[in-house]
Amino acid sequence: MKKKRILLIITGSIAAYKSIYLIRLLKDAGFELNCITTRSAEKFITHLTVSSLTGNKVYNDLFSLDDELEMGHIKLAKENDLILVAPASANFVSKISHGLADDLASSVMLASNTPTFIFPAMNSNMLNNFFTKKNFIRLKKAGIRIFETNPGELACGDLGPGRMKEPKEILTITKEFFQEKNTLFKGVNALVTAGPTQESIDPVRYLSNHSSGKQGYALAEQLADMGANVCLVSGPTKINKPKNISNFIQVKTAEEMFDKCLKNIPKDLFISVAAVSDWKIKNYSKDKIKKNNKRISFELTENKDILKFISTHNKRPRLVVGFAAETNDIEKNSISKLKSKKCDLIIANNVSNKKIGMGEDMNSAHIYNNSRLLSTYKKMSKIDLSKKILTEIIHPFLEKKIGKDIL
């Protein structure tokens, strides 16, 4: 089997010394390594050390005549299976989040479509700074994964978050990434919905909800990484199109989502994550409604129930999974939905908790099957929750439905 190629970008942080141990671990695990060091990183480690451990040339110069004869920064951006930035300094995070490309490392980042993991290392105050947080949000929206730092004693003597994850932790994360990009769902045709829908009131107003689409996108991307053929039907979100999903369909209204879902079955697996509007305005106003009309009322009409329709369709997918955003009586409401929608699994989350769920990066889940609680997952990132749901819940269920010979 061809070795997986990793590009390790080392930036200017005292944690750069840990990258030396990380290189050793990655090499011992069988990965092929290329390294880029920034000028600041070279204040902490030497080219000779990095080159000796990787067995390859170390890159640092955007204007190297030898390297750039072959457009070296473009080649580095394309030829690797994964990019690790470890450590990632506050300066480098700020630079790449704003699309700057004034050195080799930032130019490669700007030219790359390769999955990228960022492992920050900085003082707690820098980590919690308003601008740093905004920079992380920009990078996440661009599809780059940011890993939390570890708490502990920092180089400056302060106690708090800001320590880069330990090399062994980064190795584990890297291995899991490549294990998940395998054949767990190979050959499975999956349809996933994500995001909200918008139901127009007049040309400038609409009914909608707080769904960000993050959980649906995370599930769809993880499924694709695990070998599935994924169709993602998305309502309006601020998330970029997933790089690993070719069949990506954007819609606005519940009716449009219904039509696109219907055209993309039969599938082996349907995961209905989208927060579809239950109602739409019966009498849409083609002109903007003026606020001088003191008494305004709207008549609503019910939208088609996508989850129920597909669950009872004569071309029903083998496994149908629904999501339920609840604020109270989670078990009662989830089991009721499971029965009424006639799906196989309901994944419920408590959206009354403002720190998780709609619009947030974190989530929790209660999973129901056959009128009983099957599993509970406490607060974690939506990416990690997606992995657990797919590997621990959906894959075993789908295996029973399709058969071990196919999955």
Active-site residues: which are they?
Answer: 156
Please say whether the beta carbons of 384 and 362 come within 8 A. Answer: no
| 263, 269, 274, 279: CA torsion to nearest 10 | 60
> 5-10 and 345-350 as β-strands: parallel, antiparallel, unpaired?
unpaired
CA 274 to chain centre: 15
State which amino acid sits at residue 202: D
Q: Is the preceding omega at residue 87 within 30 degrees of 0, hence cis?
A: yes
Q: Is the preceding omega at residue 266 within 30 degrees of 0, hence cis?
A: yes
| Rounded-to-integer distance, Cα 399 and Cα 407, Å | 6
Q: What is the DSSP letter of 391?
A: I
| Rounded-to-integer distance, Cα 78 and Cα 20, Å | 24
Q: Biggest alpha carbon distance in the chain?
A: 77
Match 């129920």 to its residue by tokens. Answer: 308
The H-assigned helical ranges of 29-184 are 47-54, 65-68, 72-78, 90-97, 104-111, 124-127, 130-141, 167-180
Please say whether the beta carbons of 60 and 70 come within 8 A. Answer: no
Q: Residue 4: what are its φ and ψ, rounded to 5°?
A: -75, 135
Q: What is the DSSP letter of 196?
A: B
Q: Residue 145: what are its φ and ψ, rounded to 5°?
A: -95, 125
Q: For residue 221, what are the contacts with CB-CB under 8 A and spacing of at least 6?
A: 242, 244, 245, 386
Q: Containing H/E element for 234?
A: strand 229-234
- Two tokens, residue 404: 């071990």
| Rounded-to-integer distance, Cα 136 and Cα 123, Å | 15
> 145-146 and 205-207 as β-strands: parallel, antiparallel, unpaired?
unpaired
